Structure formats: structure tokens, C-alpha cells
Amino acid sequence: MKFTEISDTIKWIIFKGGFSLKDENILNDEKKEEIMLEKASAEKEYSNDTLTDELESLAQTFREELKKAQELTDEEFVEAYADDLGIIPEEELCECCGERRKDKTRGESYQYCSVCRENMKAYPLSVPNLLVSVVLVVVSIFSVVLFCNDFYGYNMMYKAEKAEKENKISSAIKYYDATIDEFSEGNITPKRAYLYSAVLMYETMGNGTDTMTEISDRIDTALSDFAKKLPVFSHIADIQLESEIIFATMQEFYNIIGAEEYANYTSDDKEMYEEIMTKIGALIDKKVSIVSKDGKTTQMHPSNAAMVRFCQYMFAYISENYDDSYQYMLEVEKLEPDYLWLYAYELGIVETQTGDVNKAKELAEAIIKKNVEDPDGYSLYTSVERLNGNFEKATRWADKGLEYSPENAELMRLKAMALCCKGDFEEAKAVIDEALKIQEYAVLYFTAMVVENELGNTDVVESYKTALKEENVEISERMTKYLSGELTALQLFTEGTGEVE
């Protein structure tokens, strides 16, 4: 019989006995106990002896258990009586709440109770993380919108790089310019576009002296003074310096020929010609001044020798001293063979007219190799083939050039000349009329006069003569010979210089 059962029995006995320990009428303790025992034994059929034995046994058990419990350590005590006491060992406690038992159904090493596990499934999202994520999503959408807005500029830059790879330098520069214009509206500086276009412009010098200043400006926009000193950009700094020196050399040349003392110079004045030519030649040993952008510093650099020779070529040409001009142009080629933009076309024309067709072809090939869109190369090829009597080839070269430069009046003129040589005067007229819509200059009118004359349109020829007279342009000697009948159109275009002047 367990201790609790015995205590319950005793309580029942007391209840059933109807005694209240606080009742003053109750008999003394010994008598009370005797009566209780009598009643209990009567109700439960326990004898006194049996009940006494039971109580003694119960007390003995209690003493033994107490002794055992006193011998146990705290941990052993908890372990032995944990269930009775409702205590969970520490290693069994959930590592999250520390209150409930670990859920062993998920494995012996599982660390959490089932309640905490359920709560962990709904672990709240961190508010700072959420805010950061929302902000970044908005920024990413903004970035995509910016890209779409700038896409035209990027596309132009992409086309520029593609054209550059295909040696279409004119198109590449045009696309770089479009990139710069597009981004300048948004106050964005596309430095790569500035830099690459400057390099291409230096290699082709499309617009002469304007190009030289533009090159310098673009390099200044792209690179800081510090960046120009870095080894990776040293060649860019050299390009800038070279273009500034070329420009400064040209300025010195203009200063010489613009001097008041030479205001009345004519090509007949041989003495003055020599004097001016000597002064121009002396620039080779002279230093030119390069002023910094802020105007604070001036540096002296030797002038560009090839440019000096080119200036001498120009002066000799306008003085109609063609032998000298040819020699100076050869000097330019020797000094700076890479400066195709400076000498290749003019030298090629001279070589064509003097008979060195192979040299002219080499120069034409070099021009086209450098820039497949350069009309000068196609013009040279057209002229070479025409002078060689290959009129069909000449027409095809002109057509090829016009594919890249559809509004090049000079190419159209050369094509018209080749068509005249073939006898296709109607087609030549269509071409030359188109050219006159684009541009008007003396040799174009001369060529048009030849075409109209061959078609019998004398009134048109007269109108052209009148127009030229109004502009104080004299009919060239070769044209006069043609118009007087001394030369046929074929002779005009294929013999001697092969030109209308």
C-alpha cells in the first residue's frame, strides 16, 4: 500500500469518524485514537494490529526512502524523481525557449521543441533587411530606366567601335560625335568617345587646321593633366602635342605669307618667291610656341618638319611652280610616311599625271586601307584607271566611293569624266547635274561644259561660261583648246594631265 493511499485512508477515517479536532467536546487524544481505530476496523474490517502494522510499515518505508534520497546527489535526485517532480534535465531542454523538452521525434540530436519549431517556420522578416531590399529594388528599376534613356548613346558608341574595326573611320568619327552629342544633353562626359575620336581624327585630319584644335580639345576633355603623364596614356599626350605643333607650324607659315611686305606678291615675281620660300624653309630649324589651355605657360618645341615641307609645297603650287611642289611633296612623304592625310592624294594625282601609275595606285591603296570610306582613295583609283584607258573600271571605282560618300561632288565629276570617255554622255549629264546641286566650283563647271558640249547643248555651255565670268574665273588653257576643237573630250580626259585645267 502506498504512502498516499494510507494517508487517504486515514483522512477518510477521520471524516467518517465525524470528529473535529477543534471540537472541545472531543475526548482526549488517546481515547480519540482508540475510537478512531475501532471505527476504522469496523468499517474496513481492519484489525487494530493490522492497521498498526500497516502504519509501521509505512513509516519504515518512508524512513528508507528518505535515507535513499538523502544519499543521492542533486542530479541523481532529479533524475530519479524527475517525473514525479515535473523537472526536465538541462540537456533535454529546448535550446530556443529553455522551457520545454526537445522534440526527439526529429532525431536524437535535434535541438528544439516542437512549439519553437513551429514558431521558427514563421520567423519574422528583419525590418532593416526588408527596407534595404525595397530600396535596392527601386534603385535597380531606376537603373534600368536610365539605361533605356541612354540606349541611343550606347548604340552610337557601339556602332562607332564596330565601324572602327571595319576601318570605316569617317563613320566611326560620325558615330563618336553622335555619342558625345547625345550624352552632353544629360551632362554626362563620354570620355572614351572623346579619346577614340581624337585619335581617329589625328590619323585622318579630315578638316585641316580645325581638326587639329578639335583633337587637342577632345583630349583635354577626356584626360586630366595627371592622366596624360601616366605611361598608358603617353601616346595620347604625344598625339596632342604633335597636333598642337602642326597647328603652330601652320600658323607660322600663315604669318610669313600674310606679312604686309608680301601683300603684292605674284607668281611671276621669282625673287620674292625665293625669299618667301627661304623663310618658310627656315621654320624647320625654328621652335614654335605652344601655349597651355589656361594661358599661363608657354613651351617651345621644334616645328614639324613634314608640315614645313607641306607649306613649301602649298606655296610652290599656288605659285604654279609645279616641279618644286612635286619635290616638296616627296620630302613630306619621306619625312612622315604615316601622314597619308597630308600628302597621299596630292602626290597620287601628280604621279598619275606624270605617268607613275603604280605609285599612284599604291597611294590609293594605302588611303583606302587606312580608311575604307575615304573618297580620296577612290578618286585616285578612278583617275588612274581613266588615264590608263580602263573607263569601265574607272566608273566602278567611282561608284564604290560613292557608296561610302554619296554626296561627294568630286567623285561624281570623275565618274562623269569616265562616262564621257565611254561615250555615255546622257548618263554623264545626269551625274554632273547631281554634282552641281551639291557643290559648285570651277573644275566642276568645266567638266559640265564638256558634257553639255558633247550633247550639243550649246546654250547651256554659254550659261556656264557666263556664270564663270561673273565669278571672275578664267577658262583654263586646256578647256579653251577643247572648246576651240583642238582637243576632243577623250583627249582632254586621257592625255597630258587628263584634267580640265
Measured distance CA(2)–CA(47) in Å, rounded:
19
Binding mask 192-211 for another protein (x = CB under 8 A): xxxx----------------
- Helix ranges (H only) for 356-494 are 357-370, 375-387, 391-404, 409-422, 425-438, 442-454, 458-470, 477-483, 489-494
Q: How many CA atoms lie within 13 A of 279 on its CB side?
A: 16
Kindly compute the dihedral angle of the four CA atoms of residues 436, 442, 447, 448, in this order, to the nearest 10 degrees.
40
Task: Please report how close the Cβ of residue 136 comes to another protein at its closest, in angstroms.
Answer: 6
Contacts with another protein, 131-160, as mask; x by CB under 8 A: -xx--xx-xxx-xx-xx--xx-xxx-xx--
Q: Please, what is the minimum distance in Å from the beta carbon of residue 93 to another protein?
A: 16
Minimum gap (Å) between residue 152 Cβ and another protein: 10
Under rule CB under 8 A, residue 291 binds another protein: no
- Identity of the residue, 141 or 282, whose beta carbon is nearer to another protein in the bound complex: 141
Taking CB under 8 A as the rule, which mask of x and - marks residues 443-462 in contact with another protein? --------------------
* CA 206 to each of CA 21, 135, 199, 495: distance values in angstroms, whole numbers, following the listed order: 128, 50, 12, 31
Q: Is 129 in the site for another protein (CB under 8 A)?
A: yes
Count CB atoms within 10 A of the CB of residue 176.
28
**Inter-residue long-range contacts of 91-95, CB under 8 Å, 24+ positions, other chains counted:** none
Residue 211 CB, nearest approach to another protein (Å)? 21
Nearer of residues 81 and 151 to another protein, judged by Cβ: 151
Among 32, 191, 370, 396, binds another protein (CB under 8 A): 191
Q: Going by DSSP bridges, is the β-strand pair 298-302/287-291 parallel, antiparallel, or unpaired?
A: antiparallel
Closer CB to another protein, residue 155 or residue 390?
A: 155
Nearest approach in angstroms of CB 379 to another protein is 32
Sign of CA pseudo-dihedral 315, 318, 323, 329: positive
Task: Give the shortest CB-184-to-another protein separation in angstroms.
Answer: 12
Chain positions 218 to 237 lying near another protein, rule: CB under 8 A, are 222
Answer yes or no whether residue 112 interacts with another protein by CB under 8 A: yes
- Asked if residue 178 binds another protein (CB under 8 A), the reply is no
What is 120-131 written as a DSSP string?
HHTPPPPHHHHH
We find the least distance from the C-beta atom of residue 178 to another protein, in angstroms, to be: 12
Query: Considering beta carbons, is residue 1 or 137 the nearer one to another protein?
Result: 137
x/- mask, another protein, residues 71-110, rule CB under 8 A, reads ----------------------------------------
CA separation, residue 332 to residues 225, 278, 306, 327, 375 (Å): 32, 17, 5, 9, 21
Which lies closer to another protein via its Cβ, residue 62 or residue 147? Answer: 147
Binding part of the chain for another protein, among 115-123, 269-277, 415-423, 455-463 by CB under 8 A, reads 115-123
**Residue whose C-alpha cell is 528508507:** 64
Q: Could you say which DSSP state residue 348 is in?
A: H
Between 111 and 453, CB nearer to another protein: 111
Task: Pick the closer one to another protein by CB: 236 or 500.
Answer: 236
Residue in the block written with cell 616627296: 330
For every residue of 74-104, DSSP letters joined together read: HHHHHHHHHHHHT---GGGB-TTTSSSB--G
Cell of 474: 578664267
| Binding of residue 467 to another protein (CB under 8 A) | no
Asked if 408 interacts with another protein (CB under 8 A), we say no
- Considering the complex, state which of residue 195 and residue 367 has its C-beta at the smaller distance from another protein: 195
Stretch that binds another protein, among 116-124, 282-290, 326-334, 378-386 (CB under 8 A): 116-124
For another protein, the closer of residues 157 and 280 by Cβ is 157
Stretch that binds another protein, among 80-88, 130-138, 282-290, 447-455 (CB under 8 A): 130-138
In whole angstroms, the minimum distance from the beta carbon of 402 to another protein comes to: 24
**Which runs of consecutive H residues, i.e. helices, occur in 185-265?**
191-204, 209-222, 225-228, 234-257
Give the SS3 label for residue 290: strand
- CB-based contacts of 401: which residues, under 8 Å, 6+ apart? 375, 377, 378, 379, 381, 382, 408, 411
Query: Residue 125, interface with another protein (CB under 8 A)?
Result: yes
Residue 301's beta-bridge partner residues? Answer: 288
Contact indicator for 112, 102 with CB cutoff of 8 Å: yes
- Select 136 or 259, whichever has its Cβ closest to another protein: 136
- What is the smallest separation between the CB atom of 199 and another protein, expressed in angstroms? 13
CB of 215 to another protein, least distance (A): 17
Q: What angle do CA 37, 43, 47 make, to 5 degrees?
A: 50
Supply the minimum distance, in Å, between the C-beta of residue 252 and another protein.
35
Strand partners, 289: 300
DSSP 8-state class, residue 232: G
Burial label for 252, CB within 10 Å (0-12, 13-18, 19+), is buried
- In the complex with another protein, the residue whose CB is nearer, 20 or 126, is 126
Interacting residue ranges for another protein, rule: CB under 8 A: 112, 117, 120-123, 125-126, 129-130, 132-133, 136-137, 139-141, 143-144, 146-147, 150-151, 153-155, 157-158, 179, 183, 188-195, 222
